Amino acid sequence: MINNKKFEIIAPVSSISNRTRLFKLYTFLVDQHPVLPIKHVGWERSDGESREKYFSDKKIEKQLLLKGGGYGNKKTKLMYLLWMYKVFIYCLFNNNKSSVVWALGFETAFPAYLASKITRAKIIFDDADRFSMLFKKPFFLKKILEKLEEHTSRNVRFHVVPSLSRYSFQSANFFELKNIPSLSELSKAKQYYESLIWPNADFILNVNGWLGDCRGMKTALHLAEHFNNVNDFHIILVGKLDGEASKLLSERNNVTYLGEVSNFEALSTYFASDFVFTYYDPANEINLYAESNKWGDALATGTGIIVNREVKTAKHLITNPNTISVPYDDTDSLITMISQYIA
């Protein structure tokens, strides 16, 4: 299916480097097809974000269909409609029957699929976050999106998903791709970990990824404030600060904030940690079916996992003795359980 003409990754993100799933895809493609030309057709949310800072030794052709909009605001949501239109036009005039398009999200895969009915391009629908689950109301819109997702799934070449648990329909094109780290990244991460000096405390908590309020940052801040003795409790914080809670957390003396780092650098922090923090606000339906990269990273490195009990896809983890699980808003119970690990 993959030839040496061109492999296109169309995704509403600024860069491949900063989206873990695409980072892994690109690394795999380069390892398996070193001469394959790769193009990223994307959306630069903030100025300068499109630079591929973790692939400086390799070349990725880049074309931006959209610029601006930022993250998570009303303007961003409206710009998704413009993104879908631009993807359709782009695919219509730039693809042909030899094109292979890796489309991230329904908002990309659906317009790419519509264009492929004319161009005959091969569309791979990478459904990392099910789009219809982002909508609660209006109910009729959610149902329409679900039907369109199902139709797209059954008519693309592959529908790549991190878990089948999010879907109530069957599709012959489903391809389950779990979020686990590659052996090469693990090896690089272990070597990097061994080359540095890390914080030392009775309990070290790893908080990484998107550091936003709906990922439990207020709870993490509360933990740092409660366990304020640096010899008892320490947080290794990695990722993009998003909101007041994560900013305050990064400034505490029992927190080491490393900023935004490469995939293997983030993975190296697991070897220095006792548990990784994976909280998902249950008010958002998609969060109930989270398939966190952090779980695969934790299992591969022998790191414990903290996950809120409402996450349905974490049931297999909750029975593990190396997992702490409490309700999302029950910070007191979480404090009690962490206290058992502090001498």
pLDDT computed for residue 137 by the predictor: 67
Q: Which residue has the tokens 């936003």?
A: 212
Neighbours of 241 (CB within 10 A): 19
pLDDT computed for residue 71 by the predictor: 74
pLDDT computed for residue 2 by the predictor: 58
User: For residue 270, what are its two tokens?
Assistant: 């697991």
The mean pLDDT value of the chain amounts to 91
Assess whether pLDDT exceeds 70 at residue 1: no
Query: What is the value of pTM for the model shown?
Result: 0.82
Q: What is the pLDDT of residues 187-230, one digit of tens each?
A: 999 999 999 999 999 999 999 998 988 899 999 999 999 999 88
CA dist., res. 193 & res. 156, Å (int): 41
CA dist., res. 342 & res. 233, Å (int): 8
pLDDT computed for residue 141 by the predictor: 85
Write the DSSP symbol of residue 167. -
Residue 137 or 317, more confident: 317
Q: What is the pLDDT of residues 138-163, one digit of tens each?
A: 778 888 999 999 999 999 999 999 88
CA dist., res. 119 & res. 107, Å (int): 19
Q: Determine what percent of the chain falls in helix, strand and coil, rounding each to the nearest 5.
A: 40, 20, 40
CB contact set of 7 (below 8 Å; sequence gap of 6+) = 29, 33, 36, 37, 38, 39, 100, 102
The length of the chain in residues reads: 343
Query: Model confidence at 57, in pLDDT bands (50, 70, 90)?
Result: low
* Residue 309, phi then psi, degrees to nearest 5: -65, -25
